[in-house]
Amino acid sequence: MHPAEPAQLEKDVPSGVHERPWLFAFLIAAEAVISLGLLGGGLSYLLRLQGVDPSHSASIIALLALPHAIYFLWGPITDFWMRRRTWLILAAVAAAATLAAAFMQPRLASPRAIALMFVGACLGVVIAAASGGMMGTLKSELNRRRAGSAYQIGSLAIGAITVFVLASPSLHLRVSSLGLAVAAMIVVPSLFALAAPPQPLIRASGAADMLPRIGHEFRQTFLRWEAIPYTLLITAPFCSGALIGLLPGLAADYGVTGGQVAWINGLGSALLTAAGAYAASLIPVRVRASVAFPVSGLVNAAAAAVLALGPPRPAVYFAGTVLFLFTVGAGYALFTGVALEFLGDSGKSGSSRYAIINSLGNLPVAYMSYLDGRAYAYWGPRAMPAADAILAALGASLLLAHFIFSRRRQAAKAVA
């Protein structure tokens, strides 16, 4: 959340060198264990080892991804009652305990294990909300940029390490032991919140005074005609990354071993998505994100088509996965640009409005995981990436055409 007025805060936030932007690499790491590690590949691989069909695994992962799409409903709680860093640590400990209990169940696909993991995912997004709120209070623009970079690096790195830990020793360690490892990777980085600068706490009375201003900002963002195509853009099926969490479970159908999965879908995933995100930063600023994003969706669909059209062999899996991870990394970076275009001026409620936009942007992960799984169930292994490619290409083509022609119409009106 952006800094509030002095009358609304118990204590102002220190600025400059004391803001420690590097801390955000560790603060988001606790949630990345769940979102990018467990749901981003580790769980689907473990479920396959336990004999769960990939179509069923996809449905489970789609359900567990739901909290990331609706966390704006409870994420704002981190602004009240306790400091955000306190919320972060408590949520991390609770999520770790819940997930450890889920891994203690006889089967990860059992209703009890799924329910526990769902609760853990709900607690995990509280970590993300608290981290975002703390990042929004940074006063130095340079430190904001450094914090944003650290945030992404920490998220990708710990997510990849989690997949590596869950996939590489899974044939030798009990699932319960892996659960304890996951719990430790959540709790340990969250303790870095103790070193975070003191965070402001908005008083209830101050929040009430700001409601008219916040309501106006919400109307300016969401209650306008331009909000409709932007909403369709952020909820479209392309560059959802849903296939990232399903590829490890699909590896066996391409003859790929567990050790190879650990490397390419774990550590390799971090490097490839980061490289893709960096490549997106090289796109000229004159190309609007609302145009560049659907273009990246078409490229990402072509990458998924490699897996769909090629024979089910390890070489095809490696080539398709490398291309998919690189292109989806670029798509993630461009999605952020789209979200900022949609948001407009940050004002007093920028974090809340961004949380809504970002939550809506997570919906494709849930519904594409489900649809990709249905494709596997009906038509087999190669149908999973085929469904992802077809839906992504269709959605990207339609929205790209809209934003190109709408920009031309605006330019023509300006000339007239």
Same domain, 171 and 238: no
Q: Does 159 map to a domain?
A: yes
Do the beta carbons of residue 156 and residue 41 sit within 8 Å? Answer: no
Same domain, 252 and 152: no
Can you tell me which residue has the tokens 């949380």?
355
Sequence-separated (6 or more) residues with CB below 8 Å from residue 8:
202, 203, 206, 207, 209, 210
CA distance 387 to 375: 6
Using the predicted structure, report yes or no on whether residue 268 has a pLDDT greater than 50: yes
> On the CB side of 323, how many CA atoms lie within 13 Å of its CA?
21
pLDDT tens by residue, 38-57: 887 788 888 888 888 887 88
Look at 332 and 188; give whichever has higher pLDDT: 188
pLDDT band at 411 (very low <50, low <70, confident <90, very high): low
Do the beta carbons of residue 21 and residue 86 sit within 8 Å? Answer: no
Same domain, 152 and 238: no
Do the beta carbons of residue 92 and residue 185 sit within 8 Å? Answer: no
Q: Give residue 233's pLDDT.
A: 93
Q: Which two tokens stand for residue 102?
A: 């889920």
Residue of 4, 413, 44, 394 whose CA lies nearest to 232: 394
- Residue 283 gets which letter from DSSP? S
Same domain, 252 and 123: no
CA distance 399 to 235: 11
Q: What are phi and psi of 240, to 5 degrees?
A: -70, -30
Look at 200 and 48; give whichever has higher pLDDT: 48
Same domain, 164 and 113: yes
CA distance 304 to 154: 26
- 3-state SS, residue 202: strand
Examine the fold and report which residue of 201, 224, 254 is the final residue of a domain before the chain moves on.
201
Work out the average pLDDT over 399-409: 83
CA distance 257 to 245: 16
pLDDT tens by residue, 112-153: 999 999 999 999 988 887 877 776 666 665 665 566 556 766
CA distance 27 to 15: 18
Q: Does 218 map to a domain?
A: no
Look at 320 and 193; give whichever has higher pLDDT: 320
Q: Domain with 298 in it: what CATH number?
A: 1.20.1250
Q: How many domains, in total, are found in the chain?
A: 2
pLDDT tens by residue, 271-280: 888 788 778 7
Same domain, 395 and 331: yes
Using the predicted structure, report yes or no on whether residue 340 has a pLDDT greater than 70: no
Point out which residues pair with 9 in neighbouring strands. 202
Q: Which two tokens stand for residue 365?
A: 């992960």
User: CA-CA distances (angstroms) from residue 42 to 36, 124, 247, 399?
Assistant: 9, 16, 10, 33
Same domain, 109 and 241: no
pTM over 0.75: no
Same domain, 37 and 183: yes
Q: Residue 185: give the domain boundaries.
A: 19-201
Same domain, 250 and 186: no
Highest average pLDDT, of 15-29, 84-98, 324-338, comes from 84-98
Residue of 99, 137, 126, 100 whose CA lies nearest to 23: 137
Over the chain, what is the mean pLDDT? Answer: 79
